[in-house]
């Protein structure tokens, strides 16, 4: 019998009244049906937002340390269920088990980190300019937050958004990606078990154009937190601009790793392999460009190609596999399209470039690890986000040229440089246009207690994680308490 999953509205698990559903199948084996989920519409969005609005009145008054304690319990339950969630995640989105375990771990780390924030949420006190007057600023919750998330980090990304939103006293409606609804169900089950009151967290499944768009436009949604493609991000930002909603956007990347002539080549090969082919290249922080100093380019390229050819491709549930499938047919078509683009533009295909077919992989969306060299900075494969296991190698003659090439795309999420020279390392930290820079590490590997986000077309200036995420999910209020017993006029009574 097919497993049937539901929406979660006001503390109840509900089917869509229309009875419409969509299927969730494993990208490693299309014959593996995980379950069916409600294909919701505007009516369910309205019900979920109404429930969140209703619950806000009570949740905002629960002391923040108490809200933090519930999130701590969420962290404990995530830890208890880590293996089961990771296996379900690998089955529904394909990345290998050690990575899905890491994805759940990010949720656990976020829960414990944010739980402590319940006892901080610091504001400021400052002297007032008039006598017998007190001044301070405090953080206030905003209201109903719509959280719209992609499929590549089905646990980490919803938790980055949801836990800070909740500890600040907001209520939420989560709209997960159509390809990863199961992990969202697991998360919400845990929140409910941990004691989050009805209506505080709501979950709506369905298509982005339908459910996501209706959420963004709902008049009772005060804030939209979106992670996904730049195309959809632009649409959401325009809609939020019209209704003056707060919107935070975490969008695409075209991340590069530089290796200078003094870099540790073996370390750089390890980093590039993990950065380019981890999660089958489907990370917003994936390494999609490798910028090599001409002196070491040939040696490093030969080593990397040999290693890429040795990667084991297959079902991520098999512990011996290095790289799982792409997420769906459209993704595989997109990657194939870019292989053609690269060849037509004159880049040289060194390895890969084709659908991977072997044994049991015929029913999945597998693709070979692919490396192009002789790539020029203005080629489309050096400029556009491919979101697959495709790495472009560009050669440069100097440090200055490396930085210029790295900065020459519209995006600015993650970046990396391998060098033993402290001067170059500090110049890179200063001159690279990106939200994240690694020295002697790959472009992936963010930790939850540092700000996460990018510059240029990667976002709109917000940062998730760290202490900066609270600027997304709270409004500042300045409070003045006058205990002088008389009318005091600022800038007038105390003027010279
Ligand atoms: P996507 O933009 O197609 O979808 C993201 C979410 O938006 C999904 O839940 C989808 O249903 C919803 N959506 C789609 N159309 C919508 C609309 N018109 N209105 C409202 N919601 C809509 O992205 P994806 O393919 O799921 O994810 C891949 C992209 O996400 C890549 O570009 C990647 O770089 C980016 N990403 C960025 C970060 C980051 O933190 N910067 C992290 C992970 C992924």
| pLDDT value for 362 | 82
Whether 229 is in the pocket of ligand 1, judged by its Cβ within 6 Å, is yes
Query: How many Cβ atoms sit within 10 Å of the Cβ of residue 354?
Result: 11
Alpha carbons within 13 angstroms on the beta-carbon side of residue 140 total: 10
Query: Which of 39, 41, 95, 150 maximizes ligand 1 atoms within 8 Å of its Cβ, making it the mutation to test the pocket?
Result: 150
Whether 345 is in the pocket of ligand 1, judged by its Cβ within 6 Å, is no
Give the range among 50-54, 159-163, 230-234, 492-496 with minimum mean pLDDT.
492-496
Which residue is listed with tokens 């956007």? Answer: 249
Could you read off the pLDDT of 66-79 as tens digits, one per residue?
999 999 999 999 99
Q: Going by CA atoms, what residue is nearest to atom 8 of ligand 1? A: 177
Q: Is the pTM of this model over 0.95?
A: yes
Residue ranges, comma separated, of all CATH 3.40.605.10 domains in the chain are: 7-251+459-479
Do residues 158 and 188 make contact, with C-beta atoms less than 8 angstroms apart? no
**Could you tell me the distance, in angstroms and rounded to a whole number, from the CA of residue 197 to the centre of ligand 1?**
28
State the pairing for strand pair 370-373/348-351: antiparallel
**Could you tell me the distance, in angstroms and rounded to a whole number, from the CA of residue 188 to the centre of ligand 1?**
20
Q: Going by CA atoms, what residue is nearest to atom 35 of ligand 1? A: 228
Mean pLDDT of 400-405: 98
Atom of ligand 1 nearest to the CA of 284: 34
Written out in words, the top-level CATH class of the domain with range 255-439 is: alpha beta
DSSP secondary structure letter of residue 212: I
**Could you tell me the distance, in angstroms and rounded to a whole number, from the CA of residue 161 to the centre of ligand 1?**
14
Residue 360 has pLDDT above 80, yes or no: no
Alpha carbons within 13 angstroms on the beta-carbon side of residue 47 total: 18
Whether 227 is in the pocket of ligand 1, judged by its Cβ within 6 Å, is yes
Task: Quote the CA–CA distance of 247 and 244 in Å, as a whole number.
Answer: 9
Atom of ligand 1 nearest to the CA of 327: 25
Query: How many Cβ atoms sit within 10 Å of the Cβ of residue 459?
Result: 26
Query: Which of 217, 229, 326, 457 maximizes ligand 1 atoms within 8 Å of its Cβ, making it the mutation to test the pocket?
Result: 229
What is the rounded average pLDDT for all residues in the chain?
A: 97
Task: Quote the CA–CA distance of 409 and 254 in Å, as a whole number.
Answer: 7
Higher pLDDT, 448 or 494: 448
Q: Going by CA atoms, what residue is nearest to atom 42 of ligand 1? A: 284
Whether 216 is in the pocket of ligand 1, judged by its Cβ within 6 Å, is yes
Grade residue 1 by pLDDT with cuts at 50, 70 and 90: confident
Query: Which of 22, 110, 174, 228 maximizes ligand 1 atoms within 8 Å of its Cβ, making it the mutation to test the pocket?
Result: 228
**Could you tell me the distance, in angstroms and rounded to a whole number, from the CA of residue 86 to the centre of ligand 1?**
21
Is 7-251+459-479 a domain of CATH 3.40.605.10? yes
Which residue is listed with tokens 């009875």? Answer: 19
Q: Going by CA atoms, what residue is nearest to atom 39 of ligand 1? A: 250
Whether 152 is in the pocket of ligand 1, judged by its Cβ within 6 Å, is yes
Atom of ligand 1 nearest to the CA of 250: 41
State the pairing for strand pair 171-175/370-373: unpaired
Do residues 355 and 326 make contact, with C-beta atoms less than 8 angstroms apart? no
Task: Quote the CA–CA distance of 8 and 284 in Å, as a whole number.
Answer: 28
Could you read off the pLDDT of 26-70 as tens digits, one per residue?
999 999 999 999 999 999 999 999 999 999 999 999 999 999 999
Whether 232 is in the pocket of ligand 1, judged by its Cβ within 6 Å, is yes
Which of 226, 162, 227 minimizes the C-alpha distance to 200?
162
Do residues 443 and 415 make contact, with C-beta atoms less than 8 angstroms apart? yes
Q: Which residues contact 224 (CB under 8 A, 6 or more apart)?
A: 145, 146, 148, 215, 216, 236, 240, 245, 246, 247, 248
Could you read off the pLDDT of 179-222 as tens digits, one per residue?
999 999 999 999 999 999 999 999 999 999 999 999 999 999 99
Q: Would you please indicate which residues are annotated as catalytic (active-site) residues?
A: 250, 284
Mean pLDDT of 458-468: 96
**How many angstroms separate the Cα of 229 from the Cα of each of 86, 146, 155, 335, 460?**
24, 17, 18, 15, 13
Whether 150 is in the pocket of ligand 1, judged by its Cβ within 6 Å, is yes
The helix or strand, by DSSP H or E, that contains position 349, with its residue range, turns out to be strand 348-351
What is the per-residue burial (b if ≥16 Cβ within 10 Å, else e) of 20-39?
ebeebbbbbbbeeebbbbbb
Which residue is listed with tokens 């992609």? Answer: 150
Residue ranges, comma separated, of all CATH 3.40.309.10 domains in the chain are: 255-439
- Contacts made by residues 80-86, CB under 8 angstroms, sequence distance 24+: 81/186, 81/190, 82/108, 84/186, 85/155, 85/183, 85/186
Q: Going by CA atoms, what residue is nearest to atom 23 of ligand 1? A: 228
Do residues 458 and 414 make contact, with C-beta atoms less than 8 angstroms apart? no
Alpha carbons within 13 angstroms on the beta-carbon side of residue 304 total: 33
| pLDDT value for 230 | 95
**Could you tell me the distance, in angstroms and rounded to a whole number, from the CA of residue 230 to the centre of ligand 1?**
8
């Amino acid at each position: 019998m097919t497993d049937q999953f539901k929406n979660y509205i006001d503390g109840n698990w509900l089917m869509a009244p229309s009875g419409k559903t969509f299927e969730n199948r494993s990208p490693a084996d299309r014959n593996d049906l995980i379950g069916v989920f409600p294909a919701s519409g505007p009516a369910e969005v309205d019900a979920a937002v109404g429930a969140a609005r209703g619950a806000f009145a009570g949740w905002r008054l629960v002391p923040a340390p108490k809200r933090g304690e519930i999130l701590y319990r969420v962290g404990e339950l995530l830890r208890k269920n880590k293996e089961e969630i990771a296996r379900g995640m690998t089955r529904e989105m394909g990345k290998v088990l050690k990575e899905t375990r890491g994805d759940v771990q990010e949720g656990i780390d976020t829960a414990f980190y944010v739980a402590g924030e319940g006892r901080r949420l610091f504001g400021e006190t400052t002297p007032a300019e008039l006598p017998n007057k007190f001044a301070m600023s405090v953080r206030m919750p905003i209201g109903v937050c719509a959280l719209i998330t992609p499929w590549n980090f089905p646990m980490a990304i919803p938790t980055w958004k949801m836990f800070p939103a909740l500890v600040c006293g907001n209520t939420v409606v989560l709209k997960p990606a159509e390809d990863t609804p199961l992990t969202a169900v697991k998360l919400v089950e845990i929140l409910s078990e941990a004691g989050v009151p009805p209506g505080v967290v709501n979950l709506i499944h369905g298509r982005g154009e339908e459910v996501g768009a209706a959420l963004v436009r709902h008049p009772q949604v005060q804030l939209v937190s979106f992670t996904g493609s730049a195309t959809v991000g632009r649409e959401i930002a325009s809609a939020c601009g019209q209704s003056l909603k707060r919107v935070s956007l975490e969008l695409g990347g075209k991340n590069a790793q530089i290796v200078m002539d003094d870099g540790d080549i073996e370390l750089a090969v390890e980093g590039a392999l993990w950065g380019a082919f981890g999660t089958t290249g489907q990370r917003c922080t994936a390494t999609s460009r490798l910028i090599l100093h001409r002196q070491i380019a040939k040696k490093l390229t030969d080593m990397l190609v040999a290693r890429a050819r040795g990667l084991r491709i297959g079902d991520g549930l098999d512990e011996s596999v290095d790289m799982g499938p792409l997420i769906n047919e459209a993704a595989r078509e997109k990657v194939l399209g870019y292989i053609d683009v690269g060849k037509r533009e004159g880049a040289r295909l060194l390895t890969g470039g084709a659908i991977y077919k072997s044994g049991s992989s015929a029913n999945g969306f597998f693709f070979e690890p692919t490396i192009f060299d002789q790539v020029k900075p203005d080629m489309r494969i050096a400029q556009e986000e491919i979101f697959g296991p495709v790495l472009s190698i560009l050669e440069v003659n100097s440090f200055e040229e490396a930085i210029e090439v790295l900065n020459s795309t519209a995006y600015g999420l993650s970046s990396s440089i391998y060098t033993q020279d402290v001067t170059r390392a500090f110049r890179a930290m200063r001159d690279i246009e990106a939200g994240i820079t690694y020295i002697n590490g790959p472009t992936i590997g963010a930790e939850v207690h540092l700000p996460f986000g990018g510059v240029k077309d990667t976002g709109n200036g917000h940062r998730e994680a760290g202490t900066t995420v609270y600027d997304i999910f709270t409004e500042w209020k300045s409070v003045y308490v006058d205990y002088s017993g008389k009318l005091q006029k600022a800038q007038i009574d105390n003027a010279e």
